[in-house]
A = this chain, B = another copy of it.
Amino acid sequence: MSWKDYLTLHQAAHLEDFRTFLSIPSISAQPAHQDDVRRAALWLAARFKQAGFLQAEVLPTAGHPVVLAEYCPYPDKPTVLFYGHYDVQPADNPERWNSPPFEPTVVDGRIVARGASDMKGQVMAFLLAAESLIANGALELNVKALIEGEEEISSPSLPAFIEQNKERLRCDMIINGDSGQLSESTPLLGLGVRGICALEFDLVGPSHDLHSGTWGGGLQNPLHAMAELVASLHNPDGSVAVQGFYDDVEPLSPELRAWYKKIPWDEEAELKKLGLQEFYGEEGYSHWERTTGRPTLEVNGMWGGYTGPGGMTVIPSTAHAKITCRLVPHQNPEKIVMLVKAHLEKHLPRGVRLQVRTKEAGAFAFRMSADHPGCVAAREVLTELYGVPPVETMFGGSVPILGTLKQMLGHDPVSFGFGLEDELIHSPNEFFRLSSFEKGKQGYAMLLGRLAQ
C-alpha cells in the first residue's frame, strides 16, 4: 500500500482526529483557557506518538508548553524540522459564529471552527503525512516537529526555549507550516517577510486643556505640533524622511526587480475593491516593491483634543501617535526606533515637549533565495500538486518566528502551508477547506519524499 492509499483508506478517521483537535479551545491569550491549551498539547503529543514518531513530549516553557515530536532513526541522513503552533485566537462574540467555534462543523466542503485554517489544519496535515510515510516505511529522513502554544500572543517564550534546546532542535532544513497558498488552484512560494518595530509618542503642551478662544493664537497647540511633526516623517516623493532610515537598505537588485514584475497584480480590480482612486507610495517603485521590498513608516493611530459629537473649543494639553515601521533585510529594529526618536527630537516644533515610549519588541525582516534547496523542492512539489508552478512573492507583514528560527538554528525556514486568504482567520466563522486539508497531507508527504532524495 502506498502512502497515498494509506491516506485515502484512513480519510474519515483522520477527519475525526482533526475535529477532536479543533474541539479543544486552546486560546493562548486567555488565562481561563490555560488548561485547554495544555490539554491540546497533551492530545497532540499523544497523536504524534500514535503516528509513529519515536518521541513526542510536552515540554515546559515560561508560558504555554511546546510539543516536540521526533522521528530520527537515521544517524546519517538529514533532518527536517517542521514549525507550527497549536494555539488559536480568541473566539469572542460567539453570536457572530454560525456554529459554535469549538464544535467543528462541516458545511459545503469546509470545516468551520476556530483555528481550522490558523493552523491546526496544517499541523494535522503534516502529522498525517508523516504517519502515512512511516506506516509504509517510506519516511527516509529524520523529522522533528516543533509545535508551540504561544504564536497568537507573539511567541514570548519560544526564543528562550529554542536557546535551551538548541542541540535537540538541530536540523538541516526548516519548514514553516504557518503559511498559505494563493488560491485553490494557484500555489504560492513565499520568499520573505518584512521586519517590524514600533513606538508611541506624546506631545505635551500646557499642563491642562485650555479654552481655544481665550488662549488661541497665544501658545503652541499640541495638535498643530503633531501635524507638523508627523508630516515631517515623509518626503514629498513618498519616501521616509528619517535620517539614516535607508542606510542599511540594499537597493533592489535588477534580478529582484525583474522577479517582482512577475507577481500578478490587477491594479484596477484592487482599487475598486478598496474604493480608491489611486495607489500612492514611494516614487520609482511598483506596488509589490513598495509593500514587500521597501521599508515603510506608518502612523497607526493619532489623536488628541475633543473627538466627540459637536464642538468643543479646546486647545488640548497633549497629542498622541502610534507608529510602526516595516523593515527590509539588514535594518535593525532597535536602531530604526532610535533613528525615528532622533528625528522626532530634531524636528520637534516649538512650545511642546516630547515623550517617547517603546514597549514592543521588534523583529528583523527575513528573505531567502529562490534557489535555496528547500525552495527548489517546494516549487517542484507545488507544481506537481496544483498542475501549475507557484506564484513567487514576498509578504509585507511580519512573521517574527522566521528570523528567530534562522538566527537560532542557522537555516532559512521554507514557508509551505495551505491556508487561503479568505478563510476568516482571527474572525468569526474561521474555516479550512477540506480540499486544502487533502492537498496539505499529500503536499507534506511529497515534500518529505522529495527532501529525502
Binding site for B on A (CB under 8 A): 29-31, 89-90, 92, 153-154, 193-194, 196, 198, 200, 205-221, 223-224, 226-231, 233-234, 273-282, 287, 290-291, 294-296, 298-316, 319-320, 322, 324, 326, 350-351, 353, 359-360, 395-398, 421, 424-428
Contacts and interface: CB of A to CB of B under 8 A. Distances in A.
B303 A216 contact: no
A304 B319 CA distance: 12
Identify which of A89, A233, A276 gathers the most chain B CB atoms within 10 Å of its CB. Answer: A276
Given A217-B282, A324-B212, A300 B291 contact: no
A227 B302 contact: yes
Identify which of A277, A313, A398 gathers the most chain B CB atoms within 10 Å of its CB. Answer: A313
B314 A426 contact: yes
B279 A218 contact: yes
Contact of A396 (B206, B217, B291, B350): B217
A442 to B, nearest CB: 26
Contacts of A395: 213-214
Given A220-B280, A278-B350, A311-B154, A301 B306 contact: yes
Contact of A223 (B153, B154, B230, B425): B230
Given A218-B281, A396-B214, A205 B313 contact: no
A421 B211 CA distance: 10
A446 to B, nearest CB: 27
12 contacts: A30-B308, A153-B311, A206-B274, A216-B298, A218-B281, A220-B280, A223-B299, A226-B302, A227-B227, A230-B231, A300-B311, A311-B322
Contacts of A89: 312
Nearest to A296: B217
Contact of A208 (B29, B214, B351, B427): B427
A231 B154 CA distance: 32
A391 to B, nearest CB: 15
B306 A304 contact: no
B326 A212 contact: yes
Contact of A351 (B209, B280, B282, B326): B280
A87 to B, nearest CB: 12
A28 to B, nearest CB: 8
A213 B92 contact: no
Tell me the interface secondary structure of chain A in the complex: loop
Given A205-B276, A300-B306, A308-B90, A291 B217 contact: yes
Contacts of A421: 214
Given A217-B282, A231-B231, A300-B314, 14 more contacts: A30-B308, A210-B274, A210-B426, A211-B425, A217-B326, A217-B396, A224-B234, A226-B302, A227-B228, A230-B231, A280-B350, A300-B306, A301-B312, A311-B324
A198 B294 CA distance: 41
Contact of A279 (B153, B209, B351): B351
Given A311-B198, A351-B279, A296 B211 contact: no
A212 B312 CA distance: 32
Contact of A209 (B216, B315, B353, B426): B426
Given A216-B296, A291-B217, A29 B310 contact: yes
Contacts of A215: 291, 396
Contacts of A350: 278, 280
A96 to B, nearest CB: 9
B299 A217 contact: no
Contacts of A305: 299-303, 322
